[in-house]
Amino acid sequence: MSKRIRYAVIGMGHIAQVAVLPAFAHAKRNSELTALVSDDTTKRHKLGRKYQVEQTYTYDEYDQCLQQVDAVYIALPNSMHAEYTVRAAKAGVHVLCEKPMAVTASECQKMVKACRDHGVKLMIGYRLHFEEINLDVMDLIRKGRIGRPRYFNSSFSMTVRPGNIRTKSDMGGGTLYDIGIYCINAARYLFGGEPIEVQAMSVNSGVRKLSEIDESTGALMRFENDRVAAFVTSFNAADMASYVVVGEKGHVRVDPAYEYAEGLKYELDIDGRKTKKTIGKRDQFAPELIYFSDCILRDKMPEPSGEEGMQDVRIIEALYESARSGKAVRIPQFSDRRPAIMQKMRKPGVRKPKLVHAVSSSVD
């Protein structure tokens, strides 16, 4: 295999245009943008010309595209992740898939099995596993700076744009799939453990654009060793993306916490003594590409793995089940957990490009 992994980006929506495609400029040490896949002729033409990509394909030509690349970055609606991952695996092509991994744990299992059976790597795009502020907070907690962590609390909300795919139930829409997954994954890696029971309540005020999904959901997760995580997600509230971890000696707050379009910061408070750190906007997607390409070239198992992605989907399904039933739901023991990587990569922020037939998910 060449020293550069040849990628096709599948899906030319907002996330692909503002983050994934520009990231290849910062990942060219071992990653090369080789092909684009979209059914939009204008997107294929304009984006192909902008990024000097000659090979562009429709979705009907996906199998043909797979013959020309080593890996795919799947940036499709959630409901399409499983199919396009399995097809890539059967063609011997490695897969970097956006989160959530899929809509159901059953779909996730099929993805993991297909990649394992065909000897290809599968990684889920948890960009914050490479991000400096979140990794610093993880390090502070592991070193005992706040004492043993006792609880996690998070808020993540935005005012979603009418008609956005996040509002479509048949496309895997819903607040937990889109933004709740950040809160779930953050609690898991900051606690270094797994929830054993979850409970949730979803509400909908009758807003037409959110009629197919939960408008807001409040979630509670009980972890091993008597720790608790709580969070609220909403598609009909002002922008908010923060979390706090409270321990026996102090707490650390990250606000903003989950964003890629702006800088992040944390504040550590121990007995009233505060320490702050702020970083400017960084490219959070290039590190994913560089790391995944290294895993392919060196034949290493990537993390976050498919098993990691499947666990978050399993928890999301349990939370929605709890919201429907009004009862707490037990989470099966997760035996495939691997330590989160501590791999910081600093890449300069990307200036927002001119979009082609794409808009952001939130109302500005």
64 DSSP β-pair partners: none
Cβ atoms of residues 8 and 72 within 8 Å: yes
Q: For residues 79 and 209, what is the distance between their CA atoms, to the nearest angstrom?
A: 19
36: Cβ contacts below 8 Å, ≥ 6 apart? 8, 9, 12, 43, 44, 47, 48, 51, 53, 55, 56, 57
Which residue in the list 7, 57, 73, 99 is annotated as catalytic? 99
51 is annotated as an active-site residue: no
Q: CA distances (Å), 79 to each of 7, 84, 310, 362, in order?
A: 22, 10, 14, 20
**Which two three-digit tokens encode residue 103?**
């809509």
232 DSSP β-pair partners: 155, 218
Alpha-carbon dihedral 21, 27, 29, 31, rounded to 10 degrees:
-50
Helices 81-90 and 105-117: crossing angle in degrees, nearest 10, is: 10
Among 228, 224, 233, smallest CA distance to 181 is for 233
Residue 166 is given by DSSP the state G
Which residue in the list 84, 182, 189, 291 is annotated as catalytic? 182
Q: For residues 325 and 322, what is the distance between their CA atoms, to the nearest angstrom?
A: 5
Q: For residues 278 and 263, what is the distance between their CA atoms, to the nearest angstrom?
A: 7
Cα atoms in the Cβ-side hemisphere of radius 13 Å centred on 26: 21
User: Angle at Cα 185 formed by Cα 79 and Cα 344, nearest 5°?
Assistant: 110
Cβ atoms of residues 138 and 111 within 8 Å: no
Q: For residues 283 and 264, what is the distance between their CA atoms, to the nearest angstrom?
A: 12
99 is annotated as an active-site residue: yes
Q: Which residues are catalytic?
A: 99, 182
